[in-house]
Amino acid sequence: MNSIIPVCLTSFLNKLSLILCGFISFLGMLAVVNSASAKPIRVVVWDERQEAQKSAYGDYLGNTLASELQQHPEFSVKSVGLNDPDQGLSDDILDNCDVLIWWGHQKHGAVTDDHVKAVIDRLKAGKLSLIALHSAHWSKPFVAAMGERALEDALKSVPKSEREKVKIVKVPWRGGMTKRDEPPPSFRRYKADDGADTLEVQMPGCIFTMVENAGKPSHVTTLKPHHPIAEGIPAQFDIPQTEVYGGPFHVPKPDAVIFEEHWDNGESFTSGCAWKVGKGKVFYFRPGHETYPIYKQEIPLRIIVNAVKWEGKK
């Protein structure tokens, strides 16, 4: 009798092992099916398309970045530009966009207000999110998104029951570079001379104290290593050549400052910032200038890939 027990136990364990192997195999197949059936993140790379970009990229920056992103099977990528029909911002393109990556520098004013409104309406509704790169800090979509966030921040100071009655007055940015001690976008609530309950909002300039294009290296520190955008990014890394921006950055307080950039001349900048705007997300990544191949480099590209995944995840 005693000799039978080990035999029965061995038989039972063998059957259990087969069952477990089959279950694990089933889970693996299920994961493959789910991965194959998952909808890709629809990425639109918008570029104003400067000829100077070709000195560093061999093509337009937007086309090069789109080609890099196309290497990721979870993305569906389209490259568009200012010289495309409808400025690359038709309803069809925007309605099929989860993440809009924006590069602009010298032609911000050429983008129509109607196209900007189309982007911001979808951003606030959570139909798309925005990634602004380098000099896109002054692009119309980014400035408009930061204006919307400034209004959201101001309205949070007003009880919901009173918001419909309050009169909102937007004070436009005066233009020009900021000063070192420039206060961030602000608001105040007061009774106007006519008795109106007024909420005055100073709109963000989305600008900073200085800019210098000397092609100097920058030293980047990852401040929030556990943020999805920082996944796989070193605690510190260098960018060999880039334009210098001197902070502070005149924008609403970010929900997260993920990266900070420093230069040997003492300048620093909050170079990776994230916000919620309405139901959408905005990420600003500072490193750049069209004559340096920053968006062909491994770490900046990894940051963009991470940002697309974070913004495009439903």
- Spell out the per-residue pLDDT of the chain, length 314, in tens: 455 545 555 565 566 555 655 555 555 544 443 444 589 999 999 999 999 999 999 999 999 999 999 999 999 999 999 999 999 999 999 999 999 999 999 999 999 999 999 999 999 999 999 999 999 999 999 999 999 999 999 999 999 999 999 999 999 999 889 999 998 999 999 999 999 999 999 999 999 999 999 899 999 999 999 999 999 999 999 999 999 999 999 999 999 999 999 999 999 999 999 999 999 999 999 999 999 999 999 999 999 999 999 999 87
- Under a CB-based contact definition with an 8 Å cutoff, are residues 118 and 217 in contact? no
47 pairs with which residues across the strands? 81, 103
252: buried, middle or exposed (CB in 10 Å: 19+, 13-18, 0-12)?
A: buried
Predicted pLDDT of residue 314: 74
* Backbone dihedral angles phi then psi of residue 135, each to the nearest 5 degrees: -70, 0
Does the pTM surpass 0.85? The reply is yes
Place of tokens 């979870």: 74
Place of tokens 């968006």: 295
C-alpha of 153 from chain center: 19
Evaluate the omega torsion of the peptide bond into residue 141 and state whether it is cis, within 30 degrees of 0: no
Directed axis angle between helix 298-312 and helix 61-69, to 10°? 70
Residue 229 CB-half CA count within 13 A: 25
- Under a CB-based contact definition with an 8 Å cutoff, are residues 47 and 60 in contact? yes
CATH 3.40.50.880, domain 39-149+211-312, yes or no: yes
Predicted pLDDT of residue 126: 98
What distance in Å separates the CA atoms of residue 94 and residue 118, rounded to the nearest whole number? 8
